[in-house]
Structure 1
Amino acid sequence: MSKFTDYQFKPFLRDAIARLGFEQPTPIQKEMIPLILKGSSAIGQAHTGTGKSHSFLIPVLQRTDASSDEVQAVISAPTRELASQLFNELQRMTEGTEVRASLLIGGTDKQRSIGKLKTNPHIIVGTPGRIRDMAENGALAVHTASILVIDEADLAFDMGFIEDIDQFASRMQADLEMYVFSATIPEKLKPFLMKYMESPVHVKIGERKPLTEGMHYSLVPVRSLGKRKKLLEVMEAINPYLAIIFTNTRQNADELADFLAEHGVKAGRIHGDLTPRERTRMMKQVRDLEFQYIVATDLAARGIDIPGVSHVINFELPDDLEFFIHRVGRTARAGNEGTAITLYEPSEDDKIVRIEKLGIPFIHEDVKNGEWTEVKERHARKKRVKQEDELDRKAAALVKKPAKVKPGYKKKMTQQMEQIKKRERRLARKHGKR
């Protein structure tokens, strides 16, 4: 199907898709929607920003029987924020219909959640731990559900939730259809998938947006200032709509946010140590544009959709370089441009080299007096020395020692070698290989 109007969707779903402004399915939607409509278990491998959520929300809603009083589908998301976003989207799409959905997430009143389940919802959206909890104490009748969607499966695995999912999945129907969505499929996740999925269709959308599209990658040397002071310099030189500053640990995120506050910068913070109430309040403040900067850790930020990010600043480089890709993928979305600024110290050169091998075209820049200036590549001196060594070897190979040596022959050979090197440098300049 090349357009959403080509599908025979229920009227309320057609209206919802029109309200969303969707005309043509994205590649992941084009592949996954027919599979879910048909009931074929499948793995959808695609990166954030590819339209994954609607590739399962739309067909699950199409297959939901509003006249039934049973739970028909369970949608699991690894973080409360992500589960809340999916639930809110589901509510928007089912407004004015008989379709019932319930949100089950940790950090909320358990008794109230149990109360909401007195009438069986048709669709459950929630975090793995709370869904398991409700299923095990008998408040949630998952045994009637024939569809299980696992969103951000690799993140669920990283956060240790696969056992929770396994516990409630085993209570669901024997002919369970499972739809797994993930940016990557870690090797250690495969035994779990094989337990529930027999020869699933594996849809892999390799067209992650080119890393260079709409992006400016700035590589900024820290030098003698120290990272925190260099960060302040960088912040004075940019005026972001919204910037996420990434650190590697929760403690570093708090310390950096405190440091920024001491220097008059009000920054939000998103990490795993926030209480549910703090996280909810923080996300509301972010959406209300109370912050121009957010300090975040990788796992906490990956499960949250933060719209309008114009800049990403890598205060620390991640140990797992896949997280670098996730970080910079936070900006330059939906056709907008974005800037990723990476602060680095000489000791981090190995990581920078590995990131460059991922296809990141860094531009070597620095901030001086509030202005951006391009600086020499960090390997410029090494390259120069290497080029000179190559020229010396080439010239030495071309200038032969005469069969009969005369006084001053060494001086003459040196002059010939210098002439060859001059000629080679001239040719290199002419072809832009300086």
Structure 2
Amino acid sequence: MARRFRDFGIAPWLVSACESLNLTTPTPIQQKAIPLILKGNDLIGTAPTGSGKTAAYCLPILHHLSADPYGVYCLVLVPARELAFQIADHFSALGAPMRAVVKVVVGGMDMLTQSTALANRPHVVVATPGRLADHLKNPEGSAKQVFKQLKVLVLDEADRLLAKCFEPDLSVILEAICPRSQGRQTLLFSATVTESIKQMRHLFSEDKMPLVNAHGADGADGEGDDDAAGEVPVKHLQQRYVFLPSTFSVRLAYLRHIVDEQLGAMEREGHPHGQGIVFVATCETCQLLTTTLEHLGVSVTALHSLQNQRRRVASLGKFRSGVSRILISTDVGSRGLDLPKVGFIVNFDLPHLTDAAATYLHRVGRTARAGRQGLAVSFVTERPRDVAAVHAIEAKIGKQLHAHETNEDEVLKGLGKVSKAVNKAQLLLSEVGFDQKVEERKKKRKRGEGQGQTANGDDADKARRV
């Protein structure tokens, strides 16, 4: 087992790059995955959030790329724009000594500029499926020719990318890139192993697509069973719930109380710049919470898909830099983002989809990263779907959530002030046209459903191409 990065046999300049970025000791997923990727193996890598999965594939890819730095060598697909920029930063930082050219292709950015960047054949492309598929479907563009000599395809957050909603775009991409039969390497990484990933592995056969499981301390052989993979690292994470009415203002009063409580606790413990994330179900709730908390004097910013790309980058930048201490986010912020100052998260809305437990794990994985302590508090109302979600989550993590003690009298003292702030926020959002944006989004989705934009393609065909 490699104790240092030089023990992998990667290029000396890459070892130096690791040292300059304070990467000194390989993590378990890096120890297990890097040797296999260097050999050219396909694999599925699974490890806790914050355990270095990006570097686990970034380092061997850059090692091989440096031997022949011509054309698009690697394509990394991710489900969210913010994650794309973060991964691109990893490649750029580690690949700086060899002047690796990395380009991001995501929605919300100028298509022509992206098309020109692709035509120039960057070494690494990090993309979201929808925008890359748009380029590949453009009959006047040259994107189809760009990926014909592709050497490595990475699906980061593979459990999400293999969901039905991404199938049409993923099929377009797989048709356009160099096929596996011509030696293209395929790497799937995820914090959780879902049924779609298990099916993919079964269709490949275990020998051709080994599961590299770095959850827990065991598994020194580099593999683990499916059922053990994808569990949240509960050792450093306290997971609690608050049972409360579904009334919006009451939930917001509890949120304000918990935010003040946790920020204060972190300051007393010597972390004056500690931060928290609040997860919500919809863009509408996200913006309303953010605007209301601003009225209440909380240092807060929002992240949701109704923001344009410039605003999303700016919001995340404010949070990363510490200008804002609280991030209110939909699930666009639940995956992959490395935000080391996050000491707690609050599920203002529990996830209620069929993969509610997996979504919960990704959300709470934004804290207690890389061995640090963290707290996750989930709001549970009397609604049956909340109760069902809690049961699914507890079954997934193998333990019951504990009640988070709160002083109800203290919380309700501020209810009147919170209610007034909600009314002000609603009026302001109506004046700036946010309600109209929400309605336009709903109409657009209905039109899409009416036109039959559903998933297609069978798993066996997809596996052959992935």
- Distance apart, 1:31 and its partner CA: 1.7
- Between the aligned partners of 2:40 and 2:233, the Cα distance in structure 1 is 34
- Distance apart, 1:237 and its partner CA: 2.7
Q: Which residue number corresponds to residue 239 of structure 2?
A: 217
Structure 2: which amino acid aligns with 1:201? P
- Between the aligned partners of 2:99 and 2:126, the Cα distance in structure 1 is 17
Percent identity of equivalent pairs: 28
Q: Which residue number corresponds to residue 401 of structure 1?
A: none
Identify the match of residue 405 of structure 2 among 359, 365, 374: 365
Q: Which residue number corresponds to residue 114 of structure 2?
A: 113
The question of whether the paired residues in 1 share the 8 Å contact of 2:163 and 2:196 is answered with: no
Q: Which residue number corresponds to residue 85 of structure 1?
A: 86
The question of whether the paired residues in 2 share the 8 Å contact of 1:245 and 1:313 is answered with: yes
- Between the aligned partners of 1:87 and 1:256, the Cα distance in structure 2 is 31
Q: Which residue number corresponds to residue 200 of structure 1?
A: 209
Q: Which residue number corresponds to residue 325 of structure 1?
A: 361
- Between the aligned partners of 1:367 and 1:112, the Cα distance in structure 2 is 54
Q: Which residue number corresponds to residue 173 of structure 2?
A: 168
Larger radius of gyration: 1
- Between the aligned partners of 1:361 and 1:346, the Cα distance in structure 2 is 16
- Per-residue CA deviations over 1:65-109 (Å, capped at 9, x if unaligned) read 454532222121221111111111111112132433322222222
- Mapping for residues 10-159 of structure 1, pairs under 5 Å: 10-65=11-66, 67-136=68-137, 137-139=141-143, 141-158=146-163
- Between the aligned partners of 2:198 and 2:358, the Cα distance in structure 1 is 19
Q: Which residue number corresponds to residue 447 of structure 2?
A: none
Distance 1:369 1:89, change over 3 A: same
- Distance apart, 1:41 and its partner CA: 1.1
The question of whether the paired residues in 1 share the 8 Å contact of 2:80 and 2:332 is answered with: no
Q: Secondary structure at the match of 2:162?
A: helix
Distance 1:135 1:35, change over 3 A: farther
Q: Which residue number corresponds to residue 343 of structure 2?
A: 310
The question of whether the paired residues in 1 share the 8 Å contact of 2:44 and 2:212 is answered with: yes
- Distance apart, 1:336 and its partner CA: 2.1
Q: Once superposed, what is the RMSD of the aligned Cα atoms?
A: 2.8
- Mapping for residues 397-412 of structure 1, pairs under 5 Å: none
Distance 1:254 1:62, change over 3 A: same
- Between the aligned partners of 2:71 and 2:55, the Cα distance in structure 1 is 23
Q: Which residue number corresponds to residue 181 of structure 1?
A: 189
Q: Secondary structure at the match of 1:311?
A: strand
Structure 1: which amino acid aligns with 2:208? S
Distance 1:234 1:184, change over 3 A: closer
- Between the aligned partners of 2:389 and 2:131, the Cα distance in structure 1 is 38
2:329 paired with 1:289: no
- Per-residue CA deviations over 1:188-215 (Å, capped at 9, x if unaligned) read 4566677778831222233268644233
Q: Secondary structure at the match of 1:34?
A: helix
Structure 2: which amino acid aligns with 1:2? A
The question of whether the paired residues in 2 share the 8 Å contact of 1:66 and 1:122 is answered with: no
The question of whether the paired residues in 1 share the 8 Å contact of 2:201 and 2:209 is answered with: no
- Between the aligned partners of 1:17 and 1:196, the Cα distance in structure 2 is 33
Q: Which moved more, 1:305-314 or 1:258-267?
A: 258-267
- Between the aligned partners of 1:67 and 1:211, the Cα distance in structure 2 is 39
The question of whether the paired residues in 2 share the 8 Å contact of 1:101 and 1:123 is answered with: yes
- Distance apart, 1:48 and its partner CA: 1.7
Structure 1: which amino acid aligns with 2:275? L
Identify the match of residue 233 of structure 1 among 257, 280, 288: 257
TM-score by length of 1: 0.77
- Between the aligned partners of 1:218 and 1:187, the Cα distance in structure 2 is 27
- Distance apart, 1:369 and its partner CA: 6.4
Larger RCO: Structure 1 or Structure 2 (Cα < 8 Å, ≥ 6 residues apart)? 2
Q: Which residue number corresponds to residue 341 of structure 1?
A: 377
Structure 1: which amino acid aligns with 2:323? E
- Between the aligned partners of 2:168 and 2:391, the Cα distance in structure 1 is 37
Larger % of helix: which? 2
- Between the aligned partners of 2:201 and 2:231, the Cα distance in structure 1 is 27
Runs of 5+ in structure 1 lacking a partner?
372-434
The question of whether the paired residues in 2 share the 8 Å contact of 1:46 and 1:204 is answered with: yes
Structure 2: which amino acid aligns with 1:168? I
Q: Which residue number corresponds to residue 376 of structure 1?
A: none
- Mapping for residues 346-357 of structure 1, pairs under 5 Å: 346-347=382-383, 348-357=386-395
- Distance apart, 1:309 and its partner CA: 0.6
- Between the aligned partners of 1:271 and 1:194, the Cα distance in structure 2 is 35
